Structure 1
Amino acid sequence: MEVTAFRLIVGGRSRQTALFSIAGGADLPRDMVIQRGIPGRASSDAFLSEALQHQLLEKLAGAGMRVPRPVLVENDPVWLDAAFLLVEQVAGSTVQPDYWLPAKSEQVVLGLAREMAVLHAQPVDTVGAGLRQARERHDVEGWRAELELLAEQWTSRAHWQSVTMSAVISWLRENVDCMDDRRAIVHNDMVFHNILAQDDQITAVLDWEQCAIGHPGEDLGYCYPVVIAVTDWSKFMDAYRAAGGADVPQRQIDFFALRAGLRLMNLVISGGRDSFEGGLNDDILVASAGAHFTQRLLHRIAFMLNSILERQS
């Protein structure tokens, strides 16, 4: 067997990814993707192991979801200095490489609703076996406790007060009683920089390392800003329900959209800004997290809050 092409994908912080092609691989696909852990770095409970990703992708592919077909997983680091996963390359290109821009095709956006519905309809006890629970409690009190933790993290990390973030936390506190104990497999980053498409059809959902057992509204609220930039939310939810997704009330969608902003802000500050300012990392991309990404995220959160308040008035 001969490796005929190899290209490292720049990006990922918790994994290294490359595209490669082979000749003479018998039953192996010609074009594959390899993902491995970063050598010497301890794995985090927040990310799925390669073995769990392999297991999950096999089950989701069998359920009809558009995901890369897993080929092989190796847990022994003796071969490549870390565990690694091979999957078959999928035709298509990234729908929107820029995190902040919406997709150009409404058909692709509605295709996302279909993929999300298929994922959320999978039984958590079988397909979701081995996945971490996103929180200890899933009832209203569990959501309330999580909200207070997110609020405390923001307050302790913020360099200055923010009217927007204070208003968001206040709104979430006033509306947390809308939550219910509903569980599903959630992707946690299911937007268009992690979607491949060809001819306006989704070919694969990528980047499953943050997958967990949570509430379906977590994925729906997270994608809400980029969906409504292209099509009506009601149209998206019609497609979601038609593909087997259960209804999620608008009040919960609003809650999850704002919660997603608060949660992501904390993650970017702790993993980006604080790492750079504390001298732990001098990467320019890490530096930009605090200087640029957080400001754009704050603008998006303000837009979402304003649209919610206008709709409620």
Structure 2
Amino acid sequence: MSSDQPPGLDLDRLRGHLDQERPGLVHGPLTGRRIEGGRSNLTYAVSDGTSRWVVRRPPLGHVLATAHDMKREHRVIDALHPTAVPVPRPLLLCEDDAVLGAPFYVMEFVDGTPYRTSPELAAIGPERTRDAVLALVDTLVDLHAVDPAEVGLADFGRPEGFLDRQLRRWGKQLDASRGRELAGIDELHAALGRELPHSPAPAIVHGDYRLDNVLLGEDDRIKAVLDWEMSTLGDPLTDLGLLVMYSQPLELPNSPISTTSSAPGHPDPRELVERYAALSGRDVSAVSWYTAFAWFKLAVILEGIHYRYTLGQTVGAGFDRIGELVPVFIDHGLTTLQEG
């Protein structure tokens, strides 16, 4: 067993499985390292000294099958690989827990840079920052232009009643994390329910679309869109709303939540919406609702993290400050909805 073997990745078993399923792919002993990023699933870079691949698997320990479905992730990138949407080439799906202790898939390694914070983005300068963020919009338009049926994803989700189900789902998530009074959150949830927009034709939705879930090349073009664990068929404007939310200046010094919106040259949300509308031809008049929903969703996610922190179930730095961010997200959501 390799001494630099990260937890959750048995390199000897992986090598044996690759030799059996893809003979000739690997030409030497494997090494592996964990790649940071991704909301929950584990990502590893693996190399034989000549070639590199990426392995994705669920987190260690017991997980719900629906929450970390490797087959779904593999299926969507396999379907999108021949399209204009840049995704890594999938190489293999393994549903046999005996190999790594959980299902996993292997894809090609894509050379590129993820930009997760404003200082990282600021380092490439305002012109390149602007180009990178506009490319993010253009790639989102390409994703939403893919016909799900044409790429074999007609049954990838249930678009009918999508927004209503999403709102109820995140309401239940909130109820499961209630450890304190949160002014305005029930008001925001109720207001979103009252003003539910009529969804456009369904599309493949990424579900967590933002700059730090893509890899940029040196030419500032998007080399790969990553982290498809929340993808489904649904209302494409939920992706736009999330992108707009992440493009708002948070103005929270030393925030543990990373955003890139304050980097010089970052286009403002209005320009992103107008570009999406012009390129996609979709009606974006209800974008305030989708943006407010994104604020609500993130508030619920952060409150869940804060709740686990109060129970002593989080590991690492920065969790002690998550709780103070939640009211800020709620306020943004309410303001966005009122202004819309």
The answer to whether residue 275 in structure 2 is matched with residue 254 in structure 1 is no
Compared with structure 1, are the counterparts of its residues 161 and 18 closer, same or farther at alpha carbon in structure 2 (3 Å cutoff)? closer
Question: Could you say which residue in structure 1 is the equivalent of 2:273?
Answer: 237
TM-score (norm 1): 0.78
Question: What is the alpha-carbon distance in structure 1 between the residues aligned to residue 157 and residue 88 of structure 2?
Answer: 22
**SS of 1:66 mapped into structure 2:** coil
Residues 150, 94 of structure 1: alpha-carbon distance in 2 compared, 3 angstrom cutoff: closer
Gapped regions of structure 2 (runs ≥ 5): 1-26, 249-260
Shift, 1:194, TM fit: 0.8
Q: Retained in 2: the 8 A contact 1:217–1:248?
A: no
- Contact map agreement 2:147 2:203 (CA 8 A) in 1: yes
Instruction: Using the TM superposition, give the Cα deviation of residue 41 of structure 1 relative to its aligned residue in structure 2, in angstroms.
Output: 2.2
Asked if 2 retains the 8 angstrom alpha-carbon contact of 1:183 and 1:215, the reply is yes
- State the TM-score, normalizing by the size of structure 2: 0.73
Q: Per the alignment, in what secondary structure is the counterpart of residue 106 of structure 1?
A: helix
The alpha carbon displacement at 1:9 in A equals: 2.1
Q: 1:201 aligns with which of 221, 238, 261?
A: 221
1:222–1:257 contact (8 Å) kept in structure 2: yes
Match of 2:195 among 163, 172, 175: 175
Query: Within the alignment, does 1:283 sit opposite 2:291 as a pair?
Result: no
Shift in alpha-carbon separation, 1:264–1:44, aligned structure 2, 3 A: farther
Matches within 5 A, 1:7-156: 7-10=33-36, 12=38, 14-23=40-49, 30-47=51-68, 49-97=69-117, 105-127=129-151, 128-133=153-158, 137-138=161-162, 143=164, 147=167, 150-151=170-171, 154=174
Q: Could you tell me how far apart the structure 2 residues matched to 1:268 and 1:308 are?
A: 20
Could you tell me how far apart the structure 1 residues matched to 2:324 and 2:198 are? Answer: 29
Tell me, in whole angstroms, the C-alpha distance in 2 between the residues paired with 1:152 and 1:5. Answer: 42
Residue by residue over 1:250-270, the C-alpha shift from the partner in whole angstroms, topping out at 9 and shown as x without a partner, is 3x2111111122123223333
Q: Structure 1 pair 278/303, CA: closer, same or farther in 2 (3 Å)?
A: closer
| Structure 1 residue identity aligned to 2:180 | H
* Distance change >3 Å, CA 266–CA 36, structure 1 → 2: same
Q: For 2:111 and 2:37, locate their aligned partners in 1 and report how far apart those are by CA, in whole Å.
A: 20
Amino acid at match of 1:261: W
| Superposition deviation, residue 88 in structure 1 | 1.1
Q: Which amino acid aligns with 1:259?
A: F
Provide the rounded CA distance (Å) in 2 between the counterparts of 1:111 and 1:12: 21
- Greater share of strand residues, 1 or 2? 1
- The answer for unaligned runs of 5 or more in structure 1 is 25-29
Q: Distance in 2 between matches of 1:149 and 1:32?
A: 35
> What amino acid is the match of 1:168?
L
Distance 1:154 1:50 in 2: 26
Distance 2:60 2:242 in 1: 31
Task: Give the CA RMSD over aligned residues.
Answer: 3.3
After TM superposition, give the deviation of residue 242 of structure 1 in Å: 5.3
Structure 2 Cα separation of the partners of residues 237 and 93 of structure 1: 25
Per-residue Cα deviation, 1:140-167 (whole angstroms, up to 9, x for no partner): xx63x7546645754672512414x355
1:222 pairs with 217, 229, 242, which one?
Answer: 242
- Whole-angstrom CA distance in 1 between matches of 2:82 and 2:73: 14
Contact 2:288–2:336 (Cα < 8 Å) also in 1: no
C-alpha separation in 2, matches of 1:306 and 1:193: 26
2:183–2:327 contact (8 Å) kept in structure 1: no
Q: Is the 2:293–2:333 Cα contact (8 Å) retained in structure 1? A: no
Q: Please tell me the residue identity of whatever aligns with 1:260.
A: A
Deviation of the 1:297 alpha carbon: 4.6
Letter in 2 for 1:296: L
Equivalents in 2 of 1:84, 1:17: separation in Å? 10
SS at match of 2:93: strand
Distance 1:274 1:175 in 2: 29
| 1:66–1:169 Cα change, 3 Å | same
1:298 maps onto 2:317 in alignment? no
How many residues in Structure 1 have an aligned counterpart in Structure 2?
291
